[in-house]
Amino acid sequence: MFAASLNPITQAIAALYGVVGDINDFLDKHIEGMKKSDNPTIARTGRVLDMAKYGFGLGYLSSVVVIAVGQYLLGNTLSAISTIATAATLSNPVAMTCAAFGAVYYGWGALSTVERDEILDKLQHGLGVGVELIKAIIRFVTEKTHELLNSRNFEEIKHYIATGAEVFGKKLGDVTHRVGDVVGDGLDTLKEKSGKALNATAETAGTARDLASDALHSVARNVSGTAAKAQNSLAEAAEKIRQKMGKDGK
């Protein structure tokens, strides 16, 4: 199924992943690859997506719903192709899928009713499917994620969310709205700013040290030059005295 025949949302997802051929075939291979991953978090994420695909009998559409909802939560409006987002996705498509998947699990329930309705309205019109079906897919994925993933997987999923959200200028706490994540984002920002300040201070100190060193070398050179001139003058004066005494002694 080529991009020209797809609905707007699926076209945006296809563009995000750089799909030029059949989107259904791409997602089949993509999810199958995730299921076979040595990384348990990726493998279990792939399993949940696979279960949603076959459980609802919608082919690629169920996966597109999950990825699209996650992209909205990460900060991608899917209204225009983002060069940065596409580049980040193409460099690691599995990471972006895990980020979107995790955003659905952590972020959907954190939204207000108004915010959820806005996304549902966009998906309904963009995908051409009913709101209740979209809600059912989201609910299914959330429940299966809770069943299959453990605490270690969830920590890794948060890392994927943070990385994916960063592409769109957001942080982990902006997606999950959890106090701990928001505080963690604040601490990370503080560390980053402190690190930059320390680097700037070190650079300033280094510049001052170099300037002082140059000044000392300049003074030393001037003193050395002055001393040499004085020594030469004394030598010349002594020579003149010897010459005069020599003449007077004749």
Cβ atoms within 10 A of the Cβ of 194, count? 10
Predicted confidence (pLDDT) per residue in 76-94, tens digit:
999 877 889 999 999 999 9
Predicted confidence (pLDDT) per residue in 134-172, tens digit:
999 999 999 999 999 999 999 999 999 999 999 999 999
Tokens matching residue 112: 């207000």
Q: Are 110 and 165 in contact (CB under 8 A)?
A: no
Residue 195 has pLDDT above 70, yes or no: no
Q: Is the pTM of this model over 0.75?
A: no
Predicted confidence (pLDDT) per residue in 32-74, tens digit:
999 999 999 999 999 999 999 988 988 899 999 999 999 999 9
Tokens 């001393």 -> residue = 227
Q: What pLDDT score was predicted for residue 250?
A: 47
Bin 88: left if φ > 0, else alpha if -120 < ψ < 50, else beta.
alpha
Which among 76, 34, 78, 80 has a CA at the least distance from the CA of 166?
Answer: 76
**Average predicted confidence (pLDDT) for the chain:** 83
Alpha-carbon distances, residue 82 vs 77, 90, 154 (angstroms): 10, 12, 28
Say which residue, 226 or 29, is predicted with more confidence. 29
State the average pLDDT over residues 220-227: 56
Write the single-letter amino acid at 28.
D
Residue 3 has pLDDT above 70, yes or no: no
Distance of CA 55 to the CA centre of its chain: 33
Alpha-carbon distances, residue 63 vs 37, 54, 97, 140, 187 (angstroms): 18, 10, 10, 12, 35
State the average pLDDT over residues 195-215: 56
Residue 224 has pLDDT above 80, yes or no: no
Residue 190 has pLDDT above 80, yes or no: no
Q: Are 141 and 105 in contact (CB under 8 A)?
A: yes
Q: What pLDDT score was predicted for residue 183?
A: 83
Give the start-to-end residue ranges of the domains of the chain.
3-177, 179-250
Residue 237 has pLDDT above 80, yes or no: no
- Cα–Cα distance measured from residue 44 to residue 42, given in angstroms and rounded to the nearest whole number: 6
Q: What pLDDT score was predicted for residue 101?
A: 97
Tokens matching residue 29: 């291979």
H helical segments located in the chain: 8-16, 23-35, 40-56, 60-74, 83-91, 93-107, 113-127, 131-148, 151-167, 172-176, 179-249
Q: Of 12-16, 39-43, 236-240, which gets the smallest average pLDDT?
A: 236-240
